[in-house]
């Protein structure tokens, strides 16, 4: 059974707090989603602002492999024909293969928001759908507030769908706009709708205000829905939308529905990271299926079980979604987990190798000093490399100086000056930043990018500081964790010192060296 995947990252996702896409951002995300294999890409409302109009103009030049672009907008206004409505005209002028039209399915919204009659609202829905269908557009009707409207007056909610169907809508999408409907109610109501409209595709559009959007979407498919709407990573207004990164693997890998080609499913993690990078957000480590910790094992018993039979502690093969299995090294990890990590880099190293014992001893000593590698895989990989073979010396620090000034009028100025030896050449750089850490990061990249151009793609995604012993006051050690990334992957490094700048420097250097090693010197 095929399920149509409808991604609304560029429309609903753009309504999330802190998310803002440029036209180029949107075009790049369209390419990424098309490559992933989603069927519909809802790209925005062309009537909302000039940036959206510019996007749709440039989108006409794209050559897509299979995805259909979809413009989004409301039904016509009350009291006028669709042919006279400026919003309807803008949707048509977007020249997309599909159009998503939303209309009211709740009498509460008809009376309180639209301030019109129930009959006029139904006429608005039917007239608008007929307008777009008559112009050859595949028409998706988004029944806004459908489940709340159904709870208030089932007959009227169903009448809104009937109006859309009479107008020629090909998809009737049931929206849990407020995100408050429980999955079992979604399943029951969706089954009723599917029985009422056997010749049409029924869709589900769930919001996550009750933390049940994924469950509600799966329940709707169980009841007969054949289109699932959501955003790739679940971000959207308020608590967000249903996450397609959770829904797609559940449907295809566990329930047997066809959503993506297997080779496209294997791109899910990399595409999720790429879209997150464009959106300037970090994928939560514990995000199911695509998060860095989704297949991470810390307890020695769990790691041992996975090594013997992966199904013992994993629901699917991580490779099926393009992710990877990780064994976290900590006081809970045994020698087997450390060996597994070593053999990822050096397959020929055996359990009896002196290097393994050396690495285990180094791990214990580092953790005694305050380091923690369970969330800093990149730094641990460097520790392994140093035990087996000395990594290349890409650069050497001669000195750094960081100044953080605060004037009497509350103006701040942070600068960092670096002196490095790079390929036998002395390099001196200086940079300003929002603070001393930012200034140091900018100066380091500035010094190295001419020598190693690949570093231009790297950016700092997250920066965390933890106080190690609060009883020592301001003289305590601090642990700095830095997550860096590019458009394809991300990695975390660690530094420890009583000096926060020194700890930061250590983590920054590890991040740069790790990237250069992965790219054979940049």
385 touches 357 (CB < 8 A): no
Q: What confidence category does residue 468 fall into, taking pLDDT thresholds of 50, 70 and 90?
A: confident
Contact 481, 370 (CB under 8 A): no
Assess whether pLDDT exceeds 80 at residue 11: yes
Residue 512 has pLDDT above 70, yes or no: yes
Model confidence band, residue 158 (pLDDT cutoffs 50, 70, 90): very high
- The mean pLDDT of 349-359, rounded to a whole number, is 84
Give phi and psi for 47, each to the nearest 5: -90, 0
In this structure, are strands 40-44 and 296-297 parallel, antiparallel, or unpaired? unpaired
Q: Which tokens is 149 given?
A: 């409207």
Q: Considering the chain, what percentage of its residues have pLDDT values greater than 90?
A: 60
pLDDT of residue 320: 93
* pLDDT for position 351: 79
Fold of 4-260: TIM Barrel (3.20.20)
Structure tokens at 152: 């208030």
The answer to whether the beta carbons of residues 312 and 267 sit under 8 Å apart is no
More confident call, 66 vs 521: 66
Give the distance from CA 369 to its chain's centroid.
Answer: 35
- Cα 446 from Cα 15, distance rounded (Å): 35
The answer to whether 356 and 343 are in contact (CB under 8 A) is: no
Contact 511, 378 (CB under 8 A): yes
Tens-place pLDDT, residues 267-310? 999 999 889 988 888 888 899 999 988 887 765 565 566 666 66
Per-residue pLDDT of 205-215, as tens digits, reads: 999 999 999 99
pLDDT bucket at 232, cuts 50 / 70 / 90? very high
Statement: the pTM of the whole predicted model exceeds 0.75: no
The pLDDT score that the predictor gives to residue 300 is 58
Question: β-strand 4-7 against 227-230: which pairing, if any?
Answer: parallel
Crossing angle for the helix pair 354-369 and 335-345, to the nearest 10 degrees? 110
Give CA–CA dist 282/24, Å, rounded.
20
Distance CA 172, CA 265 (A): 26
> For position 518, what pLDDT does the model report?
86
Residues of the chain with CATH 3.20.20.70: 4-260
Residue 343 backbone dihedrals phi, psi, to 5 degrees: -70, -15
**pLDDT tens digits, 365-393:** 888 888 888 778 899 899 899 888 877 88
8 Å CB contact between 516 and 491: no
DSSP classification of residue 116: S
Q: How far apart are alpha carbons 420 and 410 in whole angstroms?
A: 33
**Maximum pairwise Cα distance, the chain:** 83
Residue 96: phi and psi, rounded to 5, are: -95, 160
**Residue with the larger pLDDT of the pair 140 and 424:** 140
Q: Please report how the helices 183-196 and 213-222 are oriented relative to each other, as an axis angle in degrees rounded to 10.
A: 30
Task: Identify the pLDDT of residue 392.
Answer: 85
Contacts for 328 with CB less than 8 Å, ≥ 6 apart: 296, 297, 298, 337, 373, 374, 375
Cβ-based burial of 334 (10 A; exposed 0-12, middle 13-18, buried ≥19): middle
- 308: burial class by Cβ within 10 Å (0-12, 13-18, 19+)? exposed
End-to-end CA distance of the chain: 45
Whole-number average pLDDT of the chain = 89
| Three-state SS letters, 399-445 | EEEEEEEECCCCCEEEEEEEEEEECCEEEEEEEEECCHHHHHHHHHH
List the structure tokens of 90: 């803008």
3-state secondary structure of 519: coil
How many whole angstroms separate alpha carbon 12 and alpha carbon 34?
Answer: 18
Question: Which of 85, 100, 94, 91 is closest to 39 using CA atoms?
Answer: 100
Q: Nearest-CA neighbor of 324 among 344, 346, 302? A: 344
Q: Sorting pLDDT into bands at 50, 70 and 90, what band is 476?
A: confident
Better-predicted residue by pLDDT, 84 or 390: 84
Residue 471 has pLDDT above 80, yes or no: no
* Residue 470 pLDDT: 56
Query: Distance between CA atoms of 53 and 333, rounded to whole angstroms?
Result: 55
User: Do strands 4-7 and 40-44 pair parallel, antiparallel, or not at all (unpaired)?
Assistant: parallel
User: Which part of the chain has CATH 3.30.160.270?
Assistant: 396-518
Structurally, at CATH architecture level, domain 396-518 sits in: 2-Layer Sandwich (3.30)
Residue 329's pLDDT is what? 66
Q: Locate tokens 């601090």: which residue?
A: 478
Average pLDDT over residues 454-465: 87
Task: Reduce the DSSP state of residue 325 to 3 states and report it.
Answer: coil
Structure tokens at 424: 């036998």
Which range (223-232, 249-258, 268-277, 402-411) has the least confidence?
Answer: 402-411
């Amino acid at each position: 059974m095929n399920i149509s995947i409808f991604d609304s990252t560029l429309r609903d996702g753009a309504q999330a707090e802190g998310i803002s896409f440029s036209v180029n951002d949107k075009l790049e995300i369209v390419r990424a989603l098309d490559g992933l294999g989603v069927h519909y890409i809802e790209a925005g409302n062309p009537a909302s602002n000039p940036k959206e109009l510019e996007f749709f103009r440039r989108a006409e030049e794209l050559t897509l492999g299979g995805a259909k672009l979809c413009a989004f907008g409301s039904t016509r206004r009350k009291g006028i024909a669709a042919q006279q409505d400026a919003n309807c005209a803008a949707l048509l002028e977007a020249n997309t293969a599909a159009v998503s039209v939303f209309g009211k399915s709740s009498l509460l919204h008809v009376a309180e928001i639209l301030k019109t009659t129930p009959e006029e609202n139904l006429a608005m829905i039917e007239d608008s759908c007929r307008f777009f269908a008559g112009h050859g557009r595949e028409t998706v009707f988004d029944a806004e507030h459908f489940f709340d409207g159904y709870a208030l007056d089932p007959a009227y909610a169903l009448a809104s769908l009937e109006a859309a169907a009479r107008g020629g809508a090909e998809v009737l999408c049931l929206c849990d706009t407020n995100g408050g409907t429980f999955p079992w109610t979604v399943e029951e109501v969706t089954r009723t709708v599917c029985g009422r409209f056997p010749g049409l595709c029924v869709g589900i559009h769930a919001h996550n205000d009750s933390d049940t959007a994924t469950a509600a979407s799966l329940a709707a498919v169980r009841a007969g829905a054949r289109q699932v709407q959501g955003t790739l990573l679940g971000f959207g207004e308020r608590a967000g939308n249903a996450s397609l990164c959770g829904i797609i693997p559940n449907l295809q890998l566990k329930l047997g529905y066809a959503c993506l080609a297997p080779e496209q499913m294997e791109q899910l993690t990399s595409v999720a990271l790429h879209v997150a990078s464009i959106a300037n957000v970090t994928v939560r480590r514990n995000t199911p299926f695509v998060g860095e910790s989704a297949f991470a094992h810390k307890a020695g018993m769990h790691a041992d079980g996975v090594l013997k039979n992966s199904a013992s502690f994993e629901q699917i093969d991580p490779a099926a979604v393009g992710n990877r299995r990780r064994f976290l090294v900590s006081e809970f990890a045994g020698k087997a987990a450390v060996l597994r990590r070593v053999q990822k880099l050096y397959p020929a190293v055996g359990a009896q190798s002196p290097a393994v014992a050396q690495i285990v001893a180094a791990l214990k000593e580092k953790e005694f000093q305050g380091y923690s590698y369970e969330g800093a895989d990149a730094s641990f990989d460097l520790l392994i490399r140093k035990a087996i073979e000395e990594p290349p010396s890409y650069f050497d620090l001669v000195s750094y100086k960081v100044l953080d000034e605060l004037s009497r009028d509350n103006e701040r100025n942070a600068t960092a000056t670096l002196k490095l030896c790079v390929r036998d050449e002395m390099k001196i750089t200086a940079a300003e930043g929002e603070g001393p850490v930012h200034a140091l990061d900018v100066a380091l990249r500035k010094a190295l990018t001419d020598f190693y151009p690949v570093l231009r793609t790297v950016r700092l995604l997250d920066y965390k500081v933890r106080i190690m012993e609060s009883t020592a006051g301001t003289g305590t050690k601090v642990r700095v964790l830095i997550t860096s990334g590019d458009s394809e992957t991300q990695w975390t490094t660690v530094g420890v010192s009583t000096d926060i700048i020194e700890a930061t420097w250590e983590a920054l250097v590890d991040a740069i060296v790790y990237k250069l090693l992965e790219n054979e010197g940049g």
